[in-house]
Amino acid sequence: MGRKSAQSFNIDSLFMEGQVDAATRMEIVRSPFFNVIVAAYNLVNGNLRVGVVERDSGRISKVTLITPVGLPVAVIGIGSTLNSFDVCHSLSGGAFSVLTTNNFRYMRNKIAKSGSDVAERINIRVNDNNNFFNQTVYGMIDRLIDKAMGESTSRAPSFSNPLSMDRDLLTFMAKHMKGEVTLVEMPSNLRSMFDSMYKEFSDKRDRFREALKTASDFVQGDKWVLANEVNGGVILGAIGQQPMLAAVEHYTNAGFLPTTNNFNYCDITLPFKWYKSLQDIPADIYRELEYSLVMLKTHRGSNELIPTGTHHSFWEEMSGYSHDFIHVIHR
């Protein structure tokens, strides 16, 4: 069989717009590791860009590969003797090494070889990044329901697990269902046990209904989704409310949130895009975003425009959510 032809592309399409200057682009194109970048680009059908480029003593020492919206995928480390290919595992660009070699041709071949461990890790990371914002919104709703419930839950409440029930109570209930005994014949100790278990179920069901109402109120209206300190800049997009409301309704009817494998939580009303800074966002969009951030800042009683040090933090009255570098804000 003939070799698969390389995907054709415009060289400039390899670089994140507004991030890599013309001189650095030419330096990378002429470098011995350029074919590594091309191999990764072709592997994921062009769903890759060159992002942050770092230097050490004037020479390029690291090149970060990102998705077209700026989410980190991998880092090529260029050393004096050894070079590395690291796959990212976090939004901040943290990565683990999957390949170390002094031969860029070997690195390129490992990436280009379909089914290799390096190629598989790149594909997984790109697929995860493509689903990142969808997964973020799913996780936000799921955690809000947990918070409102006061416990972690993945399904609507159900009556006590039969395997944990008292054997005598379970036997009596089975006989009752088959018409062998009536409730009048139910021993008082079993009745007391059943009433206690049912009250526990009923109370939990009421909390669950309130939690779903909290979630439904929270996702009303369009939302900004902002990721700061990513790839040396920020990522901004906006989503509509309809899929989020539909997901909560599904939880109400089916007893569980639809997973991101078969449900899209993001009705994108403003495409996600990477910018060098907040100030590089187009003025009309930034004014609208700034207003939302200031409203949330005032509510938080903070001097910081963007929340920091957060861990799945909610400001329910403002329909605001923040976790680390990710912020969902009412638009």
Assess whether 57 and 185 both reside in one domain. Answer: no
Assess whether 203 and 221 both reside in one domain. Answer: no
CB-CB neighbours of 255 under 10 Å: 13
* Residue 240 counted as domain residue: yes
The DSSP H or E segment spanning 264 is: none
Along the 331 residues of the chain, how does pLDDT read in single tens digits? 344 444 456 788 899 999 999 999 999 999 999 999 999 999 999 999 999 999 999 999 999 999 999 999 999 999 989 999 999 998 888 899 999 999 999 999 999 998 899 999 999 999 999 999 999 999 999 999 999 999 999 999 888 765 567 889 989 989 999 999 999 999 999 999 999 889 989 999 999 999 999 999 999 999 999 999 999 999 999 999 999 999 999 999 999 999 999 999 999 999 999 999 999 999 999 999 999 999 999 999 999 999 999 999 999 999 999 999 999 999 9
Assess whether 116 and 237 both reside in one domain. Answer: no
Assess whether 61 and 100 both reside in one domain. Answer: yes
* Residue 6 counted as domain residue: no
Assess whether 33 and 143 both reside in one domain. Answer: no
Provide the pairing of β-strand 326-330 with 313-315: unpaired
Assess whether 268 and 172 both reside in one domain. Answer: no
Nearest Cα to 240, choosing from 228, 227, 254, 225? 225
Q: What distance in Å separates the CA atoms of residue 272 and residue 230, rounded to the nearest whole number?
A: 13
Assess whether 229 and 183 both reside in one domain. Answer: no
Q: What distance in Å separates the CA atoms of residue 182 and residue 197, rounded to the nearest whole number?
A: 19
User: What's the domain count of the chain?
Assistant: 3
* Residue 3 counted as domain residue: no
Q: What distance in Å separates the CA atoms of residue 270 and residue 131, rounded to the nearest whole number?
A: 17
Assess whether 16 and 102 both reside in one domain. Answer: yes
CB 157 within 8 A of CB 201: yes
Inter-CA distances, 136 with 35, 37, 302, 328, Å: 33, 28, 24, 9
Quote the domain boundaries for residue 249: 133-153+215-330
Specify the length of the chain in residues.
331
Assess whether 179 and 148 both reside in one domain. Answer: no
Assess whether 178 and 324 both reside in one domain. Answer: no
* Residue 4 counted as domain residue: no
Q: What distance in Å separates the CA atoms of residue 159 and residue 206, rounded to the nearest whole number?
A: 13
Assess whether 137 and 236 both reside in one domain. Answer: yes
Q: What distance in Å separates the CA atoms of residue 131 and residue 235, rounded to the nearest whole number?
A: 15
